[in-house]
Structure 1
Amino acid sequence: MYLKVSAKILLSSVLIVIVYLTIALTWASLSVEYLLTEEAIANEESILTIKQNDILLKIKDPTFYEHAGLDLSQGQGLTTITSSLARDIFLFRVKLPGIKGSFQSFYRGVFNCCKKIDLGRDMMALILNKNLTKELQLQLYVSSSYMGSYDGRQIRGLPAAAETYFNKPLAELSDDEFIALVAMLKAPNYFHPEKGAKHLESRIYKIKKILAGTCKPDGWFDTEYKHCTSGA
């Protein structure tokens, strides 16, 4: 009897998840065109230098050009550049009208509540990847990612962060300066050049070891690199 009840509960849970993801996929498919028309997409020309591009992808999304929006690469965790961008585009940047807006509010609430286990964003990432080239995804990610607050204002995008924190254009940053910006992307106010300088310094050191190949992520979900210390 207990096994039958457990099986029914499990089956019901699976069906609920399937329905939830199907609705999320449908909603994202119907909303993506409107949302992308609201984005300031200039062209596919890279904002980054070739070396900066390589550094960013090795740390944030090693198989960016190969995956369909989702990936579980070594050290990738559950978030790709595509899924990070999908979260912002579908849930936070533009308010959708009507019934689509109601679903948007619902999915935003689910994400805010349960972001570590919410699979709705994954459906949005799949749809975004089908409707936006990799080059444009990367351009939007680089130009619009939240990069902490400074003097009471939000800093958006790596170009603005370069000017704010290093007083120079993004293309003129040294490798160490650019790595600092990449390090900030994980938690911009925690790894802040002023408010979290010690935390930032520690993460920069670990990222350098990853880039140099002297330390590797410890499993699929390791984005902390806690083992990449001086003794690693």
Structure 2
Amino acid sequence: MKLPKILNRLLIAVSISIIALIGYYGWELYAAYHYTVDSVIPLENKTSYPLTTSSLSVSQHDALLKIEDPDFYHHTGIDLSTPGAGITTITPGLVKKIYFDRFTPGIGKIKQTLIARFVLDPLMPKEMQLRRFINTVYLGPNARGFEQAANYYFNRPFEEISEDQYLALLAMIIAPETFNIEKHPERNQTRVARIKQVISGDYQPKGLFDLYYGRLDDRTQQNLPKLSYFESYYR
């Protein structure tokens, strides 16, 4: 007789928890929607960035998407199927910067994914997303966006950097400290070489989280984002 009562209480507790979670995330989406409509999009329309999407050459544009978000123009904010894409593609990356003062895994990741899928991607056009990304992406403590990074690392405007210099910046996006051009030039160049293989089609990512395109030594693995490196791909 006791077992049914325990199960019944457990069912009630689980039901209440589910309802509470639905209510919480529902409110978060509602708040994010109005914040986006009232503040994010109007401010984005007024912001004057140093670069536009047309500032990228065709090869630069293609390389960026090939490495950071291969299905960017076709998915609806998130992509959990394209090999080499990982979970945090361009849209969720923007969500993390726009909607969070402090980001924590778990509940924060769920919120990030839901906002990307149901708020930011429907409301912010893809070209606007990409423009914001190339102008604000974190590339070390002294560089936000490709223009500032080109000036800081190469002492020249973005339009004057070489393709290899551009790929060196692209190589930093996934972990700016680990693959920093100044601090770890050898790591950066190794990743550039691997990126070139992906772009040329000589290397096909082995799964969703094959973000590094090969084995990394123990020192390189230090301080990488959690759950971003799986050595099992390369055994």
State the TM-score bracket (shorter-chain normalisation): 0.7 to 0.9
SS in 2 for 1:86: helix
* Percent of aligned pairs sharing the same letter: 33
Are 1:38 and 2:49 matched, yes or no? no
Bigger shift: residues 198-207 or 56-65: 198-207
Are 1:134 and 2:126 matched, yes or no? yes
Corresponding letter in the other structure for 2:162 = S
Cα 1:42–1:226 shift into 2, 3 Å:
same
Match of 1:28 in 2: 32
Cα 1:168–1:22 shift into 2, 3 Å:
same
Aligned residues: 209
| Counterpart pick for 2:84 among 56, 75, 78 | 75
Per the normalisation by structure 2, the TM-score is: 0.77
Cα 1:167–1:115 shift into 2, 3 Å:
farther
Corresponding letter in the other structure for 1:120 = K
SS in 2 for 1:55: helix
Q: Displacement, 1:160? A: 1.1
| Counterpart pick for 2:74 among 63, 66, 71 | 66
Gaps of 5+ in 1: 93-107
Per the normalisation by structure 1, the TM-score is: 0.78
Match of 2:183 in 1: 195
Q: Displacement, 1:47? A: 2.6
Deviations 1:18-70 (A, max 9, x none): 33322221111111121333345348652311110000000000011111111
Q: Displacement, 1:197? A: 1.8
Bigger shift: residues 5-14 or 115-124: 5-14
Match of 2:229 in 1: none
Q: Displacement, 1:193? A: 0.8
Match of 1:91 in 2: 100
Match of 1:120 in 2: 111
CA distance in 2 between counterparts of 1:116 and 1:166 reads 39
Deviations 1:170-229 (A, max 9, x none): 233222111111111111122111112232122222212211212121211221222599
CA distance in 2 between counterparts of 1:195 and 1:51 reads 27
Are 1:181 and 2:169 matched, yes or no? yes
CA distance in 2 between counterparts of 1:176 and 1:211 reads 13
Q: Displacement, 1:11? A: 4.8
Q: Displacement, 1:143? A: 0.7
Match of 2:205 in 1: 217
Bigger shift: residues 121-130 or 61-70: 121-130
Bigger shift: residues 15-24 or 78-87: 15-24
1:220-231 to structure 2, matched below 5 A, reads 220-227=208-215
Of structures 1 and 2, the one with the larger relative CO (CA 8 A, separation 6+) is: 1
CA distance in 2 between counterparts of 1:218 and 1:16 reads 38
- RMSD between superposed Cα atoms in Å: 2.8
Bigger shift: residues 33-42 or 45-54: 33-42
Match of 2:221 in 1: none
CA distance in 2 between counterparts of 1:137 and 1:115 reads 25
Gaps of 5+ in 2: 218-233
Contact 1:144–1:157, Cα closer than 8 Å, also in 2:
yes
CA distance in 1 between counterparts of 2:127 and 2:152 reads 25
Contact 1:60–1:80, Cα closer than 8 Å, also in 2:
yes
Match of 1:48 in 2: 56
